[in-house]
Amino acid sequence: MELRIVNVRKEFDRFAALHDVSLDIRSGELIALLGPSGSGKTTLLRLIAGLDFPTEGTIYFGDEDASRKTVQDRNVGFVFQHYALFRHMTVADNIGFGLKVRPDATRPPRDAIRKRASELLDLVQLSGLEKRYPNQLSGGQRQRVALARALAIEPHVLLLDEPFGALDAQVRRELRRWLREIHDATGHTTVFVTHDQEEALELADRVVVMSQGRIEQVGTADEVYDTPNSPFVYGFIGDSSSLPVRVDNGQLWLHDRSIGLAAPDLPNGEGMFYFRPHDIELLDGCGGCIAGTVVASRRVAGTRRVELEIGGERQSVEIELPVDHPAVTKSRIAFRPKQWKVFPAVQPQGQIAARPGEAVAAAG
């Protein structure tokens, strides 16, 4: 089912958790809401579910205004970070719960419910565990049961709130692939919340990057990674380094030296220069480059991360080099980023640094 969120605003005790958020979700799409804690991503998910109601704005399920419908009437499958399995019920009873509580007219017979539970257990690859209790399962198994329970009611949309947040890294990666498979097999419109960008980029068709109650950017993994549209997205998605620069007649200047890069479309003035540490070329001489003194170098997995101090104002950036690169032993390195972006310094740094007192009440 298609979802449309139109100009939604949500306040908790006059604290605005969401400001004027609009988002279209296509039918059958797998969407990730990605952002740091306090960005409003969980609030948005709960508004879609009907576990909270918007202060202003409308949420459409298809063409129908669902804003004032209760969670029971919206027919959504919700998966919680901490599973929220019913601890006194067996796995089969948990999965069948949504069918058992239906009114007499639409409730399937007992056998049909049991059969459906078994089918769903097969789907989530836990066949034969019908009689177990939640506390006899591992974290990953519990989350699979929670998903089966949410799927049992054949929901219009599937909503997952940090579904893998409580699991360890190994299980997370495994479940991520598996969730994608389930999504492709069942075709439910799926929205999941995560603060893990790797998870969002790998799993989702489109990623919604959120910060401080606003949507910063919506796009595919490639779009948000390669063409971030704000300093926040550049800083939040992937590794990045930044330097304050000056634009002068389409040329970029770092203090009194030219970087050797042209930005013909930008107006003159101050700006913030962003690049990816791994996406650089090293230079020998320096007639238009960024040069810095090596202050530290760390081994990170297959690469070496070198911290450089640039210029007199003690700005430091990180670049990534192959482990055995000869430049690693040098005390001074010159380089030029291959991919980069300058954001004019219109808005102060406030976009990245959380304003004090704003990250309090938002559901995390």
Partner 1 sequence: MSDTAFPQAAPRSALRQQSPISEAPYVKWTLIALTVGLLGLFLLVPLLVVFVEAFRLGFGEYLATFRNPDALSSIRLTLLVAALAVPCNLVFGVAAAWAIAKYRFPGRAFLISLIDLPFSVSPVVAGLIYVLILGANSTAGGFLLENFNLRIIFAVPGIVLATIFVTFPFVARELIPLMEEQGTGDEEAALSLGASGWQTFWYVTLPNVKWALLYGVLLCNARAMGEFGAVAVLSGKLRGETVTMPLQVELFYNEYLSVAAFSLASLLAGLALVTLVIKTWLERHFADQLASGGVGH
By beta-carbon proximity to partner 1, the closer residue of 89 and 359 is: 89
Q: Is 192 in the site for partner 1 (CB under 8 A)?
A: no
Rounded to an integer, what distance in angstroms lies between the CA atom of residue 234 and that of residue 290? Answer: 20
Q: Is 327 in the site for partner 1 (CB under 8 A)?
A: no
- Burial code (b: 16+ CB inside 10 Å, e: under 16) for 1-12 equals bbbbbbebbbee
Rounded to an integer, what distance in angstroms lies between the CA atom of residue 323 and that of residue 303? Answer: 5
Q: What is the DSSP letter of 87?
A: T
Q: What is the DSSP letter of 39?
A: S
* Least distance in angstroms from the C-beta of 84 to partner 1: 4
By beta-carbon proximity to partner 1, the closer residue of 43 and 212 is: 43
Q: Is 158 in the site for partner 1 (CB under 8 A)?
A: no
The answer to whether the beta carbons of residues 306 and 333 sit under 8 Å apart is yes
Tokens for 175, please give them: 């479940």
By beta-carbon proximity to partner 1, the closer residue of 49 and 254 is: 49
Starting from the edge strand earliest in sequence, which strands make up the sheet with 340-344, in order? 257-262, 251-254, 241-248, 269-275, 340-344
Residue whose structure tokens are 């009114």? 103
Q: Is 17 in the site for partner 1 (CB under 8 A)?
A: no
Q: Is 76 in the site for partner 1 (CB under 8 A)?
A: yes
Q: Total number of residues binding partner 1 (CB under 8 A)?
A: 26
One residue of 149, 183, 304, 341 binding partner 1 per CB under 8 A: 149
Q: Is 134 in the site for partner 1 (CB under 8 A)?
A: no
* Least distance in angstroms from the C-beta of 304 to partner 1: 44
Stretch of 26-34, 80-88, 257-265, 338-346 lying at the interface with partner 1 (CB under 8 A): 80-88
Tokens for 80, please give them: 């919680």
One residue of 87, 115, 177, 338 binding partner 1 per CB under 8 A: 87
Name residue 161's beta-bridge partners. 193
Cα 2 from chain centroid? 20
By beta-carbon proximity to partner 1, the closer residue of 101 and 295 is: 101
Q: Is 77 in the site for partner 1 (CB under 8 A)?
A: yes
| Nearest residue to 124 (alpha-carbon basis) of 185, 190, 187, 182 | 182
Interface positions with partner 1 (CB under 8 A): 49-51, 70-72, 75-78, 80, 82, 84-88, 97-98, 101-102, 146, 149-150, 152-153
